[in-house]
Structure 1
C-alpha cells in the first residue's frame, strides 16, 4: 500500500499509542482569531491539500506503520468560548480511521471567528504551528497554496533515516555514558509518578517584567540563551526538591531547510540530565546545563529508544519535560499555548518567548498533583530564578526558594511557646498528694497505694539511696517487676536527686550488663527475683519496700529542675546501644503539653501498659500522677494477651490507653469491642486501615510521634471520625518542627525532607558519646539547637506533618528508589490483609502478610496501586509479625521466604520454534542463543511491532509490549505466549 513512511520519532509515538496509556496527550492545537466571518471550508481544504498529512490515517502492515491518505475532516462550525475550545481539544483521534487533524470555526460574541486546528502529534509539532497559521492566513486571504508532495515528504523521511543510521554508533556511545532518565521525580505534593497519560491541570505561569529583564541580562552575563537559563533554573528547583540528578526532557526541532515549510513531526524529545551540587553556584549550573544541552543537540535526530536499546516504553521520556518556542514577531491573534487535556509527565512546562516577554503554562496530572501544588512549583521557579539572577555566584543550596505563603505557614506552625514554671514531675506528684492525699495513686497486682503512701514510699527510698552514697546527678538502675513498687522506685530515685535507668528484667543479661556499665550506675534498685545475677553494681532490694522501712518519709533532698531525670537506652541502626539523657525540664514540659492537648483530671485512669525501658511509659506514669489521677499497672499477661488486656480496660475503668499500633492490633484481634477511652497510638506509623477500624471504638484517637531524643512525644494528631489519611499532626507546646533538606534548609510544602525537632524536649546528649551527640544534635537556622530524627516527612499546606518512613528504610532496587512503607500501605489496602511488612531478601521484594486474604486479589490490588518495580516477588503468610521488646515491628526477624516453587510449565517445542523463526525473520539473523536478548540482536520498537504482528497472525495472541522489555529472550516471550493461550476461552 502506498503511503508516507513514518520517521523514527513518529514510530516511537505510534509504538507508545499501541502500548496504551497515551490518551489525548499527543493532541496539539493552535488557534487564530480573524475579524468577521470567513470562508473557512475552502481555506481548510486548501491547507489539507498543501499538507496531505493532515488528511491521513495510519495503516499497519506486518507491524510496519504508514501514513496513508484519507478524506480530510469537514470544518465544524459553532460558538466560541473556553468550554467549546476545551471540548474540541479533548476529543481524541482514531488513528486507524483518520483523519489526523480537524478544524473548527467558532463564532465569537464580538463578531470575530476563532479558527481552531487540532491535530495528532504524528502529523504536527510545535514548529509546525507557525507554518500552519501562516498558510491558513494566506488561504483565508484568497492566496493560492501549492499542493504538497507526498513523494517529497517520503524522501525527506528516508533522508533522515539515513542520517540517523550514520549517527547511531556515536549516539549510542554518547548515551551509554549517561544515566537513563529516571522514571520517578520528587515534586511538592506529588502522590505518584504517572504510568500513563492523565487528565491535566493547566495553570498560567505569571512572569514579572523584572524577572523577564533579569533573564535577558543574565543570559548576556553568563553567555547562555534565555532558554538555557530557564532550563538551569528548572534543574535547580528539582535538585532542591531532592532530585540529585534531575533529568528534563526537551523538545528539539529536527527540521532542515527542505522541511522548513512542511508539517509533520519534525521534532525529537531528548533528556538533558545534569548532576546538581548544592554547593555549586547557579553560574556553575548554567555552564553545566549549557554544555550538556549543546552536547545533546549533536544527536537531536536520534530517538533515545534507538540509542538505548531496551529502554521500556513509557508515556514520557522523563517525568519532567519542557517545551520552549522563541517567537520573533508578536501576534495577539494567535494562541500558541493551547495544550491537550491530558499530560504524559508529572510536570510539563510549556513556554513561549515573544518580543513582549515570556509566557507559559504548567501542566500536571490532576489526579496526582493538586492545582495549589502546581502553582507553588511555578512560584518556586520564579523565586529561585530571581535570587539566582540577582547573585549568580551564590550556592544553589542557599538560594531562596519558598514562596511567601510557605514562610507564613512555617511561622504559624512553630508558634508553640508556652510559659512553664521551673519544676519537676516529682514536685508535681507531691503537689497532687497534698491536694488529695487519700486518693488512690497506683494500682497493680502487687497492691494499691494512695498518694500519701506513694510519696512517703518514694521519700523513704530516696533517703535509703542517699545513705548508700547516691548523690544528685548520679544514675541508679531500676530492674523491677511490674507493679506499684516499680512506680514507687521511679519516684524514689528522683527523690534522691538521681536519674533512673530502666533495666528491663526480660532483656538478655549481656545487654543489661552493657547498659549498666556504659551508664556508670551507682547501684541497682530492683526486685531480687527479677534482677539477673552478675550485674555490675550492688542490688538494693525493692521487694516489699522492707529495705526502707526505717527511713524517714520526709523529703530527702531538693530536686533540681535543671537536673537529669532519666537515662534510657535505644538501639542504634548500627553499633552499640546509646543512652539518651533527658532532663527534668524536658520531662515536665512534655507532661504539661500532653495535659493541655488531651485534658487532665483527677478522674483519669491511665493504663501503664508499656515497659519502663520504652520511654513512652513515662507519660503513662506521670500524666495521671501529676494531676491527681490513677495509674493502673498492667500485669505481664495483659501486655501479651489481647483478651486479658480487654478485661483490664473494662474492669479497671480505664480512661486513657497508650499503645503501639501492633498492640492495638493485638487488642482488636482478640475481639475487643471498644471502650469510652482516649486512645493514643505511637511508637510506629499508624496504618490508615487500623485507624479506621480503631477510631469508632474509642472516644478519641490521638496519633503521637516522637523520638526518645526529644522526650517521648513531639507531635500529635487527633484522628477524625472517618479518617481519609493519617498524619503525625503538629508540634506540642514549646516544640518546633522543621522539614529540612540535606543542607538543613527548609523543604517546600509537600516535598519530603528530614524532620528535625527543636524546643524544650531536646535531650541533653547521648551519654558518653560526644561525637554522636554532635552529629545528631546540630545548629539549625537562627542558631537553634535541633535534633535530626532521620525520619522522612512532608509538610502539608494545612500545616499537618505526614510521616513517610525512616530514611534508612528506603532501598534502591534495580535502579529504583523504593520506600518500603509505601508498599506496606498498599498491601494494607488489599482485601483480607490485617498487617503487612516488606523486606528485601536477595535483591527481591518480599511481602509478609497477616490475615485471611487470598493471594490473587492481593496481587491484583497491588498491581493496580503500585508500579511494576514495587510489586513484591514473594509473599509469606505469618500468624503475627515479629516485634521488638518495645512492641515495634522487628524487620530483621522477618523470615526468609521459601523459594521452593513449582517448576514452570515448559512450552511445547513447536511454539519455541515458531517464535524463534519469527525473531530470525524480523531481526535478519540465522540463529539465536538461549541467553540472547532482543536488544542484543538489534531489536527496537519497530521490530517489536513486527514480531507481535507475526505472532498475532501465526498464533492468534496479542503479546503485550511490556513482555519484550521485562523478559526480552525467546524463553521469556514463549512463556508469555503460553500463558496467554491458556487464558483464552475454549
Structure 2
C-alpha cells in the first residue's frame, strides 16, 4: 500500500468518518489512528505536533471532517493543536450546524464521469500545470527548461520483455502517462505508445559503456520533450555486462507530481512481478478529480484569494543571491550555460534522522519546519536581505477522496513563505516563527503561490518570480520503496528540473534516513556559490543533530570571512514601479508641444505631435463607434510605416490593446492568430482589407474611414491591463499569445531611456516589425520624451543600405535590431 493510502486509511473510516466522530471518544480515536498510537496514550493537553502530527496528516484530517460537512479549517486546528481543544471545536461546530435551519455549505455537486468522453475530450490545465507549460517556453524568464523528474535505478537481471509488457500495462492504467498538451492550454489523453527503449551495452568495453551511460544521463537530465506530442513519460533499460541493468525513468511534471512517481513505480513493480495479479481498476481518473476538486474548493479558494490580496503590499520578494544574470533574463532551451542543472546532496542516516526529529519535537517543531529554517538561514546569509519569499510546493492531493491516492497526475500546489530572518533569534525561536507563518500560509493554500505571483506581477507590471524553492516530503514515505528497489535496483541518480527556478531544495525519505538535495542551475548562480552554500547548509544541519545547544542560540558562522565581501550581488537594483499607461506621455506632449515633429514618414514629410494625436483620437472614435471598449483587443494589419504608428496610438487611446497581425503572414496562421486573439475589431486599410475579410468574424475597420470622425477623449486604462498582445510560434510552431501590460512596457522604456540618457533630441529608426517587442521600444521611447521616430516602409524593411541613408539624412541617434536583420 502506498504511503498516501496509508495516511488515507489512518484518517478515514473508523476515524473521521465514524458516526460518533465528533464525540470526545470519536475524535480521540481518529487522532490516535492518524498518529499510530493507542488512544489511551494521548494526553488531552499535549501539543499534537510534539507527538508526530505533520501537515500531511493534518490536511487529511481536515479534509475528512470537511467532507462530512464540518466547516473546520487547517488554521483552526493549528491554532490550538491539543486533543481537548480539537474536541471542543468539533463539538461546537457540529452543534452549531445541527441547530441551523439549513446547511451552511451546500453539498458538493457530482461531476458526471464518462470514461469514453474523458479519454476523447480536452480538459483545462491545473494551475501548476499551466505554470509549467508557460515557463518551459523559450524566451520566458529563466525558461527553456522542462519540468521533469529523471531517475536511474541500478540493478541486476531486469528482463526487457517483461518490463516492456509491464510498462504498456502501466500506461493503459494511468491516462496521464499518455497526456497530450495542446497549444491552447488544454490537455487530453492520447493513444498508448511504447515507452521503453533498450540500450544493449553488453559488448562494449568498460570505458565505452561508462562513456555511453554518461552521455545518456546528460541527455536525459536536460531533456526538453515535446509535450504537445504526448512525450511525457519515457523509460530506458541499459543492459550491462554480467547481468547488470540500469532502469531510466523520465516523468514530466505536467503529467505527474513526485508522489505520482512513487505510484507509478509501485504499479510498475506489480505489473512486472505479478502480471496475473494486477492492481484493481481505479474508479476515479485525473480529469474527474480536477473537476470535482474545483467545485469542492470554490468557496475556500475565494476566501483564500481575498486573504492573500490583502497582504500583497506587505510581501517581500525573492532572495537576491549572487547571480550571473538578472533572474528575469529570457532563456531558451539552446542556452546550455543557463539551463544546465546539477544536484548537490547529503544523506542523514536513520540514527541522525531520529536525533533531528526528536530534537525538533522537543522544541515544538516539526522536522520539516526545522529543516526549512536551516535552509532559510543559509539563503539569508547569501542574500542582500534577510527577509524574502521562499516558494514551497504543497502536495495538495485530497487523500480522503477514494482512489485519489492511487492516481498519477499533477496534484501539486505551492505556498509563498515570508521568511523573515531579520532578528538574530535563537534557532528554535526563529523556526517557531517560520513554522507559524508557514501554517498560516498553508491554511490559505486554496489560492496557490502561482496565483499570488500573478497578482504581484499584475500589480507591478513586470514578471515576479519565486525562483528559490524548498520542498519537504517528510511524512510522505519513500518514493523508492524497498519492493521497487528489489525488483529494479537502487537509485543511483535522481534529479529534477523546473522552469523559472534556479535553486530547488528538497528533503525526502530514503533508506530509513533523510536525503537533502539541492538541484541548482549552475550558470545562473555565481561560480562556487552553490557548493559553498550547500556546505554551510550541511554543516548547520549536522550541528542541529549533534549539538543540543545549537537550537538555543542564533545561527552564525555560515560564511567564511573571504565570502562576506562578495556575497549577494543582485543583477539589478530595485526601482519604483511605473503607474501610467504606455501612451500617456505622448498625448500629454501633444497638448503641451503640438508643433514638435513626432514622425518622419517614408516620404520624408513629417507628422507633428498634434497631428499624430488628432488622427489617433479619430481612430479611437471609429473603434468606439463599433463597440470597442477598455480592455478589449484590436487586431492591426497594416504595412510598416507611419500609419502603423497612428493605428496603435489610436487603439491605445480607445483603452484597448493592439495585436499585430503582419500583412506578410500566411492565411492559415493569420486565421489562427485571429481565433486565439478574439479581437473586438480588426484595423487595416483599404489595400489590405482583403487579408482580413475571411480571417476574423470581428468587424473590419478601415483607417481611411476614421478621417471623418470627431476625435474621442483619450482613455487612460489601468496600467495592469495589456497594452499589446504578441504572437509567437512557441515550441509547436503554432501561434501563442503573450500579453504585455502597460506597466511592464513602460518599465522597460523608462529603464532604457535612463540607462542611455535619452531625451527630446533623440531619433529612432523604426526597423522592427510591429509584432516584435523591439518595435514598441522604437516607437514609444522617443514619443514619450519629445523625440522623433523615423519610419521605415514595408518595401525597405530588410534594406540595410536604405537604412543607412535614413540615418544620415535624418540624423538618427538610435538603431536597435536583432543580428539576423
Tell me the secondary structure at the aligned position of residue 274 of structure 1: strand
Label 1:112 to 1:26 Cα distance change in 2 as closer, same or farther (>3 A): same
Distance 1:81 1:97, change over 3 A: same
- Taking the TM superposition and a 5 Å limit, the aligned residue runs for 1:289-368 are 289-307=434-452, 310-312=455-457, 317-326=465-474, 328=477, 331=482, 333-335=489-491, 338-340=494-496, 344-368=500-524
Using the size of structure 2 for normalisation, the TM-score is 0.51
Larger Rg: 1
How much does 1:303 deviate? 2.9
Q: 2:169: which partner in 1?
A: 46
The worse-fitting range, judged by mean Cα deviation, of 946-955 and 131-140 is: 946-955
Q: Which residue is 1:135 aligned to?
A: 267
CA-to-partner distance for each residue in 1:241-278, whole Å, 9 max, x for gaps? 33221221111111123421111111112221122233
Distance in 1 between the 2:324 and 2:316 partners? 15
- Change in Cα spacing, 1:239 to 1:148, as seen in structure 2 (3 Å) is same
- Does the CA contact (< 8 Å) of 1:250 and 1:269 recur in 2? yes
Give the deviation of 1:238 after TM superposition: 2.2
Q: Could you tell me which residue of structure 1 aligns to residue 531 of structure 2?
A: 375
Question: Whole-Å Cα distance in 2 between the matches of residues 27 and 160 of structure 1?
Answer: 24
Cα deviation, residue 130, structure 1: 1.0
Q: Hey, what's the Cα distance between the residues in 2 that align with 1:260 and 1:100?
A: 20
Distance 1:381 1:298, change over 3 A: same
Where structure 2 has 5 or more consecutive residues not aligned to the other structure, the ranges are 1-119, 202-211, 332-337, 580-584, 586-608, 635-651, 659-672, 683-694, 699-724, 728-735, 750-769, 780-790, 796-821
Q: Give the conservation status (yes or no) of the 8 Å contact 2:127–2:450.
A: no
Cα RMSD (Å) of the superposition? 4.6
Taking structure 1 as reference, are residues 304 and 342 closer, same or farther at Cα in structure 2, changes over 3 Å only? Answer: closer
Q: Is the 8 A contact 1:270 1:317 kept in 2?
A: no
Q: Would the aligned equivalents of 1:216 and 1:226 in 2 still touch at CA under 8 Å? A: yes
Q: 1:400 aligns to what SS in structure 2?
A: coil
- Count residues with an aligned counterpart: 488
**1:165 matched to 2:298:** yes
TM-aligned CA distance change 1:152 to 1:52, over 3 Å: closer
Q: Is 1:199 aligned to residue 333 of structure 2?
A: no
5+ residue gaps in structure 1?
A: 411-746, 753-793, 795-803, 817-841, 843-898, 922-927, 935-944
Match of 1:963 among 723, 740, 744: 740
Q: Which residue of 1 aligns with 2:787?
A: none
Work out whether residues 316 and 345 of structure 1, in 8 Å CA contact, stay in contact via their aligned partners in 2. Answer: no
Question: Contact 1:30 / 1:338 at 8 angstroms: preserved in 2?
Answer: yes
Greater helix share, structure number: 2
Shift of 1:17: 3.8
Mapping of 1:588-737 within 5 angstroms?
A: none
Q: Kindly indicate whether residue 286 of structure 2 is the aligned counterpart of residue 153 of structure 1.
A: yes
- What CA deviation, in whole Å up to 9, does each residue of 1:320-364 have, x standing for no partner? 102232364564534396224666323221322335322233222
- The structure showing larger relative contact order (alpha-carbon pairs under 8 Å, at least 6 residues apart) is 2
Match of 1:6 in 2: 125
- Aligned match of 1:70: 191
* Distance across 2 between alignment mates of 1:930 and 1:149: 54
Question: Whose strand proportion is higher, 1 or 2?
Answer: 1
Deviation per CA, 1:819-857: give whole Å up to 9, x if none: xxxxxxxxxxxxxxxxxxxxxxx9xxxxxxxxxxxxxxx
- The verdict on how the C-alpha distance between 1:811 and 1:305 changes in structure 2, with shifts beyond 3 A counting, is closer
Q: CA deviation at 1:150?
A: 9.9
- Confirm or deny: 8 A CA contact 1:342 1:365 kept in the other structure: no
Equivalent residues of 2:341, 2:520 under 8 A apart: yes
CA displacement at 1:365 relative to structure 2: 2.1
2:228 aligns with: 96
Q: 1:119 to 1:915 in 2, by over 3 A?
A: farther
Q: Residue 132 of structure 2 contacts residue 146 of structure 2 at CA under 8 Å; is this kept in 1?
A: no
Deviation at 1:153, TM superposition (A): 2.5
What's the TM-score once normalised by structure 1's chain length? 0.43
Query: In 1, distance between residues paired with 2:269 and 2:373?
Result: 37
| Equivalent position of 2:95 in the other structure | none
Which structure 2 residues correspond to residues 461-860 of structure 1 after superposition, within 5 A?
748=564, 750-752=566-568, 812-814=575-577
- Paired residues of 1:75 and 1:102 also in contact (CA < 8 A): yes
The aligned residue for residue 374 of structure 2 is 233
Cα separation, 2, equivalents of 1:349 and 1:401: 18
* 1:668-709 Cα deviation digits (max 9, x unpaired): xxxxxxxxxxxxxxxxxxxxxxxxxxxxxxxxxxxxxxxxxx
8 Å CA contact 2:473–2:509 kept in 1: the answer is: yes
Rounded Cα–Cα distance in structure 2 between residues aligned with 1:220 and 1:134: 31
The residue matched to 1:260 in structure 2 has which SS? helix
Q: Does 1:25 align with 2:146?
A: yes
Is the CA contact 1:125–1:266 (under 8 Å) kept in the aligned structure 2? yes
1:132 shift after superposition: 0.8
Retained in 1: the 8 A contact 2:503–2:519?
yes
Tell me, what secondary structure is at the counterpart of 2:320?
A: coil
Correspondence for 1:391 = 549
Query: Which residue in the other structure is 1:400 paired with?
Result: 557
Does structure 2 conserve the Cα–Cα contact (< 8 Å) formed by 1:188 and 1:751?
A: yes
**CA separation of 1:147 and 1:749: change in aligned 2, threshold 3 A:** farther
Question: For residues 294 and 37 of structure 1, what CA distance do their matches in structure 2 show?
Answer: 44
SS in 2 for 1:220: helix
> What's the CA shift string for 1:438-481, capped at 9, x where partnerless?
xxxxxxxxxxxxxxxxxxxxxxxxxxxxxxxxxxxxxxxxxxxx
State the alpha-carbon separation in 2 of the partners of residues 901 and 374 from structure 1.
Answer: 57
